Chains A and B, each alone.
Chain A
Amino acid sequence: MAKTMYEKIWDTHFVHQEPGQAPLMYVDRHLMHEVTSPQAFEGLKIANRPIRNRHSILATLDHCVPTKLADRINLPDPIGAKQVATMVNNCEEHGLVLYDMQSKNNGIIHVVVPEHGFVHPGMTTVCGDSHTATHGAFGALAFGIGTSEVEHVMATQCLPQSKSKTMLVRVNGSLSKYSTAKDIALAIIGQIGTAGGNGYVIEYAGEAIEALSMQGRMTLCNMAIESGARAGLVAPDEKTYAFLEGKEFAPKGEQWDQALAYWKTLPSDADAQFDRVIELRAEDIAPQVTWGTSPEQVIPVDKTVPAPSDFEQEGKQLACASALEYMGLEAGTKLTDIDVDYVFLGSCTNSRIEDFRAAAEVAKGTSVPERVTAIAVPGSYQVKEQAESEGLDKIFINAGWEWREPGCSMCLAMNGDQLKPGQRCASTSNRNFEGRQGKGGRTHLLSPAMAAATAAAGRFVDIRELEA
């Protein structure tokens, strides 16, 4: 029978099903950070259970980590410092690989894992973090789990899992040069909504997806969770193999050939059936900016902020009204007339080297207005070094940006980087929830190039008009 990629991975990882219980799925890779793991280690200790396969685990410190060098050494927040120390102790005690703050490999978990080739096509991968979906870019089934499940995987290397439904999102045609993977991700969420993917694993396909770089695919899959999907997947291809080859944890020699032969069997069969199919035309995807407090509240940059009456459903009308109030916006305002106070370039969605290149190209020779703060936060030390070797740091600094150390930073604001109440931020991260970037902070999601253009103008800009 014809199978989707998801079904192939599912079948390969099926361990056992006890009558009356959920199927057990085997887990190949387990990623970890300091926020969602301490209670899992504690649980293991209380039950006196060992870790089944410590080699399946890779850990980093990212959420609590300050992005100012001096603060990284002193960790000003005692509670955050305790969480960091707990992670370091837990990893030492169990012999786990940890990219701690002193490591040149340190960075955001979803940025460092691909840098080392730790996740391959066809693998099952979990992490106590919803943006684990990122690794679907490699054709791996990767999804976020809760802390109880983190403990479960450590103890058993398995998870009881119900099978998801499958959705194919096909993006045909080619993107204009101003639109990016981020714009595709936002446009899809705008179309299906933040609950549209509930119960599904999404496979992204079509010419526009094939044309994306691995980094673009990571950005896209990263935001699968923002549409409610369990995971996002892109079929592996030559780009995937080229990206992995030679990386630390990639197969070597004869095993590379073996792995490659297997990976080529993974893409969905031509006649495989999906439970739901959505099609978009890449040509229609303009640069996107969110205006509200949910990623589905998004519009093309040249449009105006909607009114509650623009929505049919009562729930959406209410959500629109409350978002407008929280965001301090009036319906009918042109996005490009809205001033910002802050610009954040970073997060596991958009903090890879290509993101910095795209933003630097726009930032070059510009100057951030006095009243605006713009921070550029690389996703990892590897990204930071690469950017510095290309002179990108100078471009940002000369334009008036701050150039920081890696970490989650203002994506979730639990590390010292945060908005003040009422401040408006153009952000390349993935969530514009109320208070996500600081209590009372107002977040607008967009692509790196759009963020750089916004920083230069102090307000949202349609980058398609910059060159005209």
Chain B
Amino acid sequence: MEKYVKHTSVAALMNRSNVDTDQIIAKQFLKKVERTGFGVHLFHDWRYLDDAGTQSNPDFELNKPVFAGAKILVTGDNFGCGSSREHAPWAIADYGFSAIISTSFADIFYNNCFKNGILPIVVSTDELKSLMAEIEANEGVAFTVDLENQSVSTPGGINIEFEIDGFRKRNLLEGLDDIGLTLQHTDKIDVYEKKHQQQFPWLWA
């Protein structure tokens, strides 16, 4: 995975709560056996007027020309609820977002983001309101996301510090391969497994 770097980009506003994974990537796109190419299907049912996905829906917020190329998504509570499908973060990353700001994220989705170079940022309800207000007042405004210093800052003078797990932060910053990290402890897993086999022989019968 690539190293996560500090970036300044247009912040797109999608003021909806409980956006679920069925909306992020609809089921008809789950049949592919590859990891790539899901970006065009992101938010399909909201984003397009037709099933084929050729007519863009002018009423859908992310279709606003000012939000083109946005890397930051600012959105409502409990983003990513629903299924475990990693197709959701694949679609988000492929579309171009590398940071999502909300008050809360569903558990599995939150986890999945880190595997795909997306930083989910949790802010308070008031902080979210102020970020949303700044975008509304100045659509196309660019925010700065700085993972190293755990901050989001805006031209309007907002400066938010967010919390993040130390190990998740490090892995994202250094672009580490999770599986490779675990495999470094194969000896510990071997030892554990031997003990486990003795303690729970019926699991190995």
Contacts and interface: CB of A to CB of B under 8 A. Distances in A.
Contacts of B151: none
B76 interface: yes
Contacts of B33: 38-39, 42, 82-83, 86
B81 A195 contact: yes
Interface string B140-177: 00000000000000000000000001111010000000
B22 A436 contact: yes
B22 A435 contact: yes
Q: Which of B23, B28, B188 has the most CB of A within 10 A?
A: B28
A135 B29 CA distance: 28
26 contacts: A15-B192, A16-B188, A21-B181, A22-B165, A24-B185, A26-B189, A26-B193, A86-B33, A123-B203, A146-B89, A148-B116, A151-B179, A152-B178, A156-B182, A194-B18, A195-B81, A198-B78, A228-B81, A230-B107, A414-B28, A414-B31, A433-B22, A433-B82, A434-B22, A434-B23, A439-B51
A431 B183 CA distance: 37
Interface string B67-107: 00000000011100111111001000000000000001111
Contacts of B28: 414
Contact of B107 (A36, A228, A315): A228
B41 to A, nearest CB: 13
Contacts of B168: 22
A156 B179 contact: yes
A146 B113 CA distance: 10
A253 B138 CA distance: 72
Given A194-B81, A258-B201, A24 B196 contact: no
Interface of B: 16-18, 20, 22-23, 26-28, 30-35, 45, 51, 76-78, 81-86, 89, 104-108, 111-112, 115-116, 165-168, 170, 178-179, 181-183, 185-186, 188-189, 192-193, 196, 200-205
Nearest to B182: A156
Contacts of B183: 49, 155-156
A251 to B, nearest CB: 4
Contacts of B105: 198
A205 interface: no
Interface string A92-134: 0000000000000000000000000000100100001110100
Interface stretch (A157-165, A300-308, A456-464): A157-165
Given A15-B185, A80-B31, A319 B18 contact: yes
A144 B167 CA distance: 21
A145 B108 contact: yes
A412 B27 contact: yes
Interface string A425-468: 00000010111100100000000000000000000000000000
Contact of B189 (A15, A151, A315): A15
B106 A198 contact: yes
Nearest to B88: A146
Given A148-B178, A315-B76, A434-B45, A36 B84 contact: yes
Interface in A34-81: 35-36, 38-39, 42, 47, 49, 55, 63-64, 77, 79-80
A442 B201 CA distance: 49
Contacts, number: 185
A258 B32 CA distance: 44
Contacts of A155: 179, 182-183
A83 B33 CA distance: 6
A18 interface: yes
A79 B32 contact: yes
A148 B104 contact: no
A77 B31 contact: yes
A413 interface: yes
Given A146-B111, A156-B182, 5 more contacts: A15-B188, A145-B84, A258-B202, A294-B20, A413-B27
Contacts of A16: 185, 188-189, 192
A449 to B, nearest CB: 26
A247 interface: no
A409 interface: no
Contacts of A228: 78, 81, 106-107
A2 to B, nearest CB: 22
A389 interface: no
Contact of B77 (A35, A120, A315, A434): A315
A311 to B, nearest CB: 12
A24 B84 contact: no
Contacts of A158: 182, 189
A203 interface: no
Given A39-B33, A83-B31, A130-B84, A195 B182 contact: no
Contacts of A64: 31
B82 to A, nearest CB: 6
Contacts of B196: 26
Nearest to B166: A20
Given A252-B205, A258-B202, A315 B45 contact: no
Nearest to A154: B179
Contact of A20 (B27, B45, B170): B170
A24 B182 contact: yes
Contacts of A49: 179, 183
Contacts of B204: 55
Given A15-B185, A144-B108, A194-B78, A149 B202 contact: no
